[in-house]
Amino acid sequence: AGKLAMELLNEKRLRMYAFFLTLREHEDGERIAFRMHHDGEIDVRATYCILTPCHLLGLLDKEEEKTHLLSPSIAHYIASCQTFEGGFGAEPFNEAHGGYTFCALAALRILGFVSIINVEMLRSWLVRRQMEFEGGFCGRTNKLVDGCYSFWQGGAVAVLDGWYNENNATGEKIGTANEEGLSFDEVMLQRYILLCAQDVNGGLRDKPSKPKDFYHSCYNLSGLSVAQHALSSSWPPTLSDASNDETSLNNLFGDSSYNILARSDPVLNIRADRVKYATKQF
């Protein structure tokens, strides 16, 4: 099945690229945004959802002059969505929101333009979304904790910390042996996910008293993987470091003999070994 899927993707990849280009919208002549679909809304989700498959399918060749999806104008549109708080809204002048912030930051990481935004304001906004008592994250200022933001906010911190480690001119790193780990408290986040977001009958949820569902199960688990493994490799990962290396773990909560998840790529939110497999094909 994997071989057949890759053959299909290889056959369709250029047509997908052509379709993605039809969703471009020029804003003010100097910024390029994307629609979610024809006649659909324009926001940073669309940019991220286009760049991610293009990255996996080898359609973002930085040595190819005609790679339209690497235009600085795309990065400038994303940067215009950063708010006075430091996070990102769906489009310019919207409220900062965890989901859109992740999409904006991850898209900039793929493009290689994280440096054009106010990184310190973003870090400040992100880490302040972790709730002091619960340990989980909220999605916006003055909102309640929600398990899905374990990934949207926690993953964004992991992406930002990874970029900082690779680009900080002083050589100072986050998450080294002499540091405490990620910029947020990863042990508190793991505790919230395992003890509060996890339903005793299986599945995960927003918070206690809420029903479990597939959406919150997905993003709680994604956040748990980030809290356990982030910063254990560079990005984009090389073929040699894209394995699940359980010797490179963050600070852990609970019994590591049975609650460790496979390592995921924090930018793409896909298991690292699956990213390795895809990138080898294209």
CA-based nearest residue to 125, from 113, 141, 109: 141
Question: Is 103 marked active-site?
Answer: no
Dihedral of CA 90/79/168/242: which sign? positive
Question: Is 146 marked active-site?
Answer: yes
Tokens of 62: 């930085």
Question: Is 241 marked active-site?
Answer: no
- Give the active site residue among 35, 76, 128, 143: 143
Question: Is 255 marked active-site?
Answer: no
Rounded-to-integer distance, Cα 198 and Cα 220, Å: 9
- Give the active site residue among 140, 212, 229, 263: 140
**Tokens 């339209």, located at residue:** 68
3-state class (DSSP) for residue 29: coil
CA-based nearest residue to 163, from 270, 266, 279: 266
- Give the active site residue among 45, 123, 216, 263: 216
- Give the active site residue among 206, 212, 229, 265: 206
Question: Is 213 marked active-site?
Answer: yes
- The answer to whether 86 touches 94, Cβ cutoff 8 Å, is no
- Give the active site residue among 97, 191, 205, 229: 97
Question: Is 216 marked active-site?
Answer: yes
- Give the active site residue among 146, 161, 185, 265: 146
Question: Is 149 marked active-site?
Answer: yes
Rounded-to-integer distance, Cα 92 and Cα 108, Å: 16
- Give the active site residue among 77, 100, 149, 192: 149
- Give the active site residue among 138, 148, 164, 185: 148
Residues noted as catalytic = 97, 140, 143, 146, 148-149, 206, 213, 216
